[in-house]
Structure 1
Amino acid sequence: MERNSRTSLYEKLYNEIKQEIICGKLKEGAKLPSKRAQAERLGISVVTVENAYAQLLAEGYIAARERSGYYVCAAEFPAPQAAETSAQAENDEREETTAEPPQQFGSELFPFSVWTRLMRTVILEKGSAILAPVPPGGAPELQAAISAHLRSYRGIAVPPHRIIVGAGTEYLNNLLVQLLGSGLTYAVENPGYHKPARIYRLNGALCLPIGIDQHGILADELYYKNVDVAHISPAHHFPTGIVMPISRRLELMKWASRRNGYIIEDDYDSEFRWGGKPLPTMFGMDASGRVIYMNTFSMTIAPSVRISYVCLPQELYERWKERLGFCSCPVPAFEQYTLARFIESGHFERHISRMRKYYRRIRELTLALAVRTCGEDSISEENAGLHFLMDIPADSGLPGIFTECGVRVTPLDEYYDEGSAPPDSAAGRFVVNYSAADEKKLSEQ
């Protein structure tokens, strides 16, 4: 294993094993060397191997068997999508940019001084240009900044013009149902976030709740219910916190390809992962143009920053230009230019780093209180995002204590679709959301 200063040893080992699995060198069911044996073979620490195996385990490439070891558990990977050459990307960008213009976080986390300074800079440098309309897909500066961020942070190679900026995810859900068609059958995870289903139904589309298991949404149900579009959150399902393994992701991508359907990948809080590196996106894995990627800045900057975006496959981008390219971008140009500077200058990355440190402390305090009150076995799916699941006895005073500390506690059964009955297993289970928690009050408990 080659070493260099740019990539950590655990990432190099993780990438090498992952590539061997993808290319078939390591077959399904093959046993990996023990952590100690791997460390001795490569001349690295056991902790390094442990971190690499943990990342592979989180992504579903391997499985751990008690008292036995680690085994490969994924197969049938699609061929990697050919990346656009820099010349192609430049030509595409030139063509598009010269076209006719057509939770709640504490205030101490928002970088007021930086944002104010950038706003002044935009006014000084742009002048009256900030009063002019931006192209329908968004300000080219913001599209380029998002494209660069996605490439470096999420491993997504998407040209700027295929990133469509919108005023919040509700707007984008409306846009997608108009783009794909209201005559299709849509599916949402059950339990799940209610807004997407309501928006699809308000647009006249049939939207079905699809059950989940420990790996995420059930692909079999998508087949026999003749679903055309599946809206999912594979990196961190809301509200259960399930992280979808690679085997289920491949199964869903195969469904989309066979059905000529689409997957809307909602990557709403991928920045908050408490162990290992961020999981690869389905959009980045997709070679057939069947995955639409969606994300928002409302989760990471502030809820009032109503700027979200979707990344479209090439064919859907062409359809968007034809059908919806006449619509004005709903996000004010001034906000777009300011956010673009915020990302380009590295402030967004530093802001995310501060947010992670802050919420790591909040998470530890919340979990410590939960463990002291109800025991460690009562908690599940706590390794990503700003919420986790918990079994709380009916006579426990913990919900009241959490509420006093700004931690929101909601019964899991409230997240099931309005037309379906929650299973018995949801009884006594709660979603514990600490995004608006009071650190001082938690530390006093």
Structure 2
Amino acid sequence: MLTITLEPHGAQPLYEQLYRGIRHKIEQGALAAGERLPSKRALAAHLKVSVVTVEGAYGQLLAEGYLRSEPKRGFFVQPFEAQSAPAAIPARPSAAASVKEKSIQYDFTTNAVDTARFPFSTWARLMREVLTQEDSGLLAASHPQGVEELRQAIVRYLGDFRGIQAEPEQIVVGAGSEYLTGLLTQLLGREGGYAVEDPGYRKPARILANNGAQVLPIPLDAQGLRVDLLKRSRARVAHVTPSHHFPLGMVMPVTRRRALLSWAGQSEDRYIIEDDYDSEFRFSGRPIPALQSLDTGERVVYLNTFAKSLAPSLRISYMVLPPHLLARYRQELQFYSSTVPSFEQYTLARFMERGHFERHIARMRTLYKGIRDSLLFAAREEGITSRGTFSGAEAGLHLLLQMNNGMTEPELVRRAAEAGVGVYPLSSYYLAPGARSALPTLVMGYARMRGEDMAPAFSLLRKAWALDRP
């Protein structure tokens, strides 16, 4: 029988002590993959604790991917791969930058993912396999658009999970979305304006501007980018995130998507850049097909990256070019060499072909959902929701928290930072001068946080923001 030493009068709740104890045994290999755990009632009787305590511990382990539940069979240990410690990830510069970074104990940055769960042993095994089997081919120059094996794997993934029907020759692999966005500026031309979502992710706007394009911020409503305002602008290209807007979190409905496609179809030199960043992490409802899957006029260029789904240091992104743009690309830009080493491309191709990518996404989706649920629970318990409202919980790796406690956005950020908690103002994502939300709103990423950190983090926020605990 599983035995964990518990301290009934300890500082941590019993369920958390039990959760930590079981997690430690799994990580140390004392509980092997596939091993069946005692039933909740049996373990509760053995440890002389309540069934609720065991339910809480098992529930957290399920959410974080340490266990799996099989109907009528029980709880089983999931395979766990030993990892190296991930490198520290710097926080996003913000209104909290005046507070020394070392003073931030709990950081709700959006510039991070949980790399501790990256399947290093699987990746290393595939790397060794590639070195052995590809041999001297790794030293030869690869195809400018990327190795064929990876482009084939991407096409299969897009067909299965994003509703996109494409051919491998339409795929262009590059070292990051920044590089590919720069290529697109050359391919689509700098003439006319490039519409971007306002508020939105600022980096694409900066890249477009640095490549000589005129950037036109277009406001949003509850359905996404306002096509009525887009029509009044001189924009020729629109950069959008229809499957999950950053940072507001809305999903563009099909009526707005068709309106956007209709706008693009009114002129042969109009295009849409669909940035599908962050689309893998949807926690409720059916997956949202890509905008490109509705495009019958070759108006949409699809853009995505593996930085969020795997690791930021894996600088592999890709775009899907419509056939007529592919012909133009080959004529005008194919002299550019591939910017991603063949070694990494072959490794990623095998990682995808053998189902490791899909399994990793499924594990991370479960993990992040558990962390999100812990965040929302802790916020309610600490009374944050008495004066604040969360939105954007259905997808992505961040939430918006709109506060109505009499403090301004900068004051909320400053007080949180002084208390050791990093939160970030929505106003920093607006491009148009003076634009901001009606109420102070904070962007709170949770990918680098742990579920157990949420209660102390929100306790600090409650005190910093002078809120009453329920």
TM-score by length of 2: 0.69
Letter of the 1:362 partner, please give it. I
Secondary structure of 2:282's partner?
Answer: coil
Aligned-partner residue type, residue 341 of structure 1: R
Gaps of 5+ in 2: 1-110, 458-470
Aligned equivalents of 2:319, 2:419: Cα separation in 1: 35
Q: Aligned match of 1:153 in 155, 161, 164?
A: 161
Map 1:58-97; keep pairs closer than 5 Å: none
Matches within 5 A, 1:18-417: 103-260=111-268, 261-372=270-381, 373-375=383-385, 378-392=389-403, 393=405, 408-417=422-431
Alignment-mate amino acid for residue 296 of structure 2: A
CA RMSD of aligned residues (A): 2.2
Match of 1:75 in 2: none
CA contact (8 A) 1:407 1:432 kept: no
Contact kept? 2:430, 2:436, Cα under 8 Å: no
Aligned residue identity for 1:438: R
Counterpart of 1:420 (choices 426, 433, 447) is 433
Cα–Cα, structure 1 residues 288 and 378, in superposed 2: closer, same or farther, change >3 Å? same
Letter in 2 for 1:381: G
| Equivalent AA in structure 2 for residue 378 of structure 1 | T
Shift of 1:182: 1.2
Change (3 A) 1:180 1:141: same
Report the Cα offset of residue 369 of structure 1.
Answer: 2.2
Moved over 6 A (4+): 396-407
2: distance between equivalents of 1:320 and 1:353? 35
Q: 1:358 Cα shift?
A: 0.7
Structure 2 contact 279–396 (Cα < 8 Å) conserved: yes
Displacement of 1:388:
1.4
The one-letter amino acid of 1:248's match is R
Q: Secondary structure at the match of 1:196?
A: helix
Deviation string 1:318-371 (CA, Å, 9 cap, x unpaired) is 110001011101001100000000000100011001101110111001112223
Letter in 2 for 1:148: R
SS of the counterpart of 2:307? coil
Structure 1 residue 423, shift from structure 2 partner: 3.4
For residues 399-432 of structure 1, the C-alpha deviation after alignment (integer angstroms, 9 at most, x for no partner) is: 6898799975211111001x4212351x411111
| Pairwise CA distance, 1:298 | 0.2
- Tell me, yes or no, if the aligned pair for 2:115 and 2:310 is still in contact at 8 Å: no
The answer to whether the 8 A contact 1:405-1:437 is kept is no
| SS of 1:209 mapped into structure 2 | strand
Question: Which amino acid in the other structure matches residue 329 of structure 2?
Answer: W
Q: Which moved more, 1:276-285 or 1:295-304?
A: 276-285
* Aligned counterpart, 2:101: none
Question: Given the alignment of the two structures, is residue 439 of structure 1 paired with residue 458 of structure 2, yes or no?
Answer: no
Which letter maps to 1:257? G
CA change 1:314–1:406 in 2 (3 A) is farther
Which entry has the higher C-alpha Rg, 1 or 2?
A: 2
- Tell me, in whole angstroms, the C-alpha distance in 2 between the residues paired with 1:215 and 1:368: 28
8 Å contact kept, 1:189–1:232: yes
Deviation at 1:255, TM superposition (A): 0.2
> How far did 1:302 drift?
0.3
Q: Distance in 2 between matches of 1:201 and 1:400?
A: 31
SS of the equivalent of 1:375 reads helix
Aligned to 1:6: none
Q: Does the aligned pair in 2 maintain the 1:166–1:309 contact within 8 Å?
A: yes
* Alpha-carbon distance in structure 2 between the residues aligned to 1:182 and 1:166: 21
